[in-house]
Amino acid sequence: MADTKTLSVTRLVRKMRNLLEIELGELWVGGEVSNMRRQSSGHLYFTLKDDGAQMSCVMFRGNASRAKVQPDNGMQVRLFGEVSVYEARGSVQLIVRQVESAGEGELQAKFEALKRKLDAEGLFSKELKKPIPSFPTKVGLITSGTGAALQDMLNVLGRRAPWVQPILYPVQVQGVGAEHGIASALDHWSQWQESGLPEVDVIIVGRGGGSLEDLWNFNEEVVARAIAGCTIPVISAVGHEIDFTIADFVADMRAPTPSAAAELVVPDGEQLQHKLQRYQSGMFRILDGEMRRYEMQLQGMRRGALSMSVDRVLREPLQRMLQAEKVMEDAAERGIEQREQQVVLMKQRYATVHPELLIDGRLEKVAHRKQLLNQILGKRLEKMEQAVLRQKSMLRALGPDSAFERGFSITMTSDGKLVRSVDAVEKGETLVTKLSDGELVSVVSSE
């Protein structure tokens, strides 16, 4: 009777593999690479270890060829993959699909933070992009003086546009502090006169491919701001086509590689020559056609008007000229008559409103109103004079003078106070008595 509870080795290992793949699935694992073996088939076999354990890893050719970071002995990495069991040996291994340097996650976060910051400031705006000249004569190259990227760009420029002069500003493109050298080169060329540099039409700044750490200098803020502030158009050409840096977003143009930047910045000389040849051929065809057309016209004129005498040729134009002259004279005479009639009408129209007539009318109105005013004032003065006489008569009848004429008098002190009683005066005081025909001055001799 078969033992149904006993598993074969194959089934046990397969259960182990299924259990690991289902329970753990895909995950990230960090550690140090060791025992690296690169097979001729392209597969990578190595060990991932830390202080407490180690694990076998395999990275198959497809994933290895696409990896931006190539693992090597001693590297601290983060591996993304799936834990499985190699059934032939029953060993646990990590099937690696993606490799990052241990610090790449932190760098990616810094990249995204700086990208958001500069984008919010508007440094990526299309309105700030300077146009790349179509036919530059001098191209500035800011890159390593010993790198393959420089030779690639020089080869492309020499092949496509041998008349263009490339000018190198050598800088360090990798390592601590390299970003300051790159930014300084951009600043110096932006102020090329003060810096003593030759003038260029466009600048290519970049380097060849590498890991995120290798390209990181082009993700620094100082480089981004130097590109944004450069007065000369800048093309960013960093890494491979899949690589993107902050410099790519700020630059006036992004090229996937340094070689592609060189191809973008200058036209193809052979294509230009072919275009010129086509234009030349087209112009010759047009000129040949025009020459043939003018020659046919000339021949026709020779057979026509030019074959006649001068009198016959000019007879009709002279007749048209004389007719036009007669029409112009008639039109001029009619115009003069119309203007004369208009002048007569205007004289008649404005005769009634001549300034002298207007002034005479105004003077008559003024004289008439002056006469009316004198009459009104005379009557007003006569009435006022009669009123004064009446007031004067009443004053005589009712005033003090009439009392004086009837024999009354008024006695006053020397200071003009009216004396109403004998008690109001003192002995020796001077009194003035007013009569109808004058005044008497007296002195009180007794009380």
| Beta pairing class for 138-143 and 54-59 | unpaired
pLDDT at 164: 92
Is 262 a residue whose pLDDT tops 90? yes
pLDDT at 252: 95
CA distance 165 to 136: 9
Judge residue 133's burial from the number of C-beta atoms within 10 Å of its C-beta, 0-12 exposed, 13-18 middle, 19 or more buried: middle
Is 192 a residue whose pLDDT tops 70? yes
pLDDT in tens, 397-433: 666 666 666 777 788 888 878 888 877 788 888 888 8
CA distance 203 to 250: 14
Is 1 a residue whose pLDDT tops 60? no
pLDDT in tens, 17-32: 888 777 788 889 988 8
pLDDT in tens, 232-241: 999 999 988 8
pLDDT at 231: 94
Backbone angles phi, psi at 163, to 5 degrees: -80, -15
Is 103 a residue whose pLDDT tops 90? no
- Amino acid 153 reads M
CA-based diameter of the chain, in Å? 188
Give the closest residue to 217 by CA, choosing from 240, 249, 183, 257: 183
pLDDT at 116: 92
State the CB neighbour count (10 A cutoff) for residue 44: 23
pLDDT in tens, 339-351: 888 888 877 777 6
Give the closest residue to 210 by CA, choosing from 74, 113, 107, 341: 107
**Contact of 211 with 101, CB cutoff 8 Å:** yes
Q: Which two tokens stand for residue 230?
A: 């450069």
**Contact of 222 with 183, CB cutoff 8 Å:** yes
What is the rounded average pLDDT of the residues 161-186? Answer: 93
Instruction: Specify the pTM.
Output: 0.48
Q: Which two tokens stand for residue 381?
A: 């003065």
Torsion over CA: 400, 405, 411, 413 (sign) = positive
- Amino acid 63 reads N
| Kind and range of the H or E run holding 57 | strand 54-59
List Cβ neighbours of 250 (8 Å cut-off, separation of 6 or more). 118, 123, 124, 224, 227, 228, 236
- Amino acid 172 reads Q
List Cβ neighbours of 327 (8 Å cut-off, separation of 6 or more). none
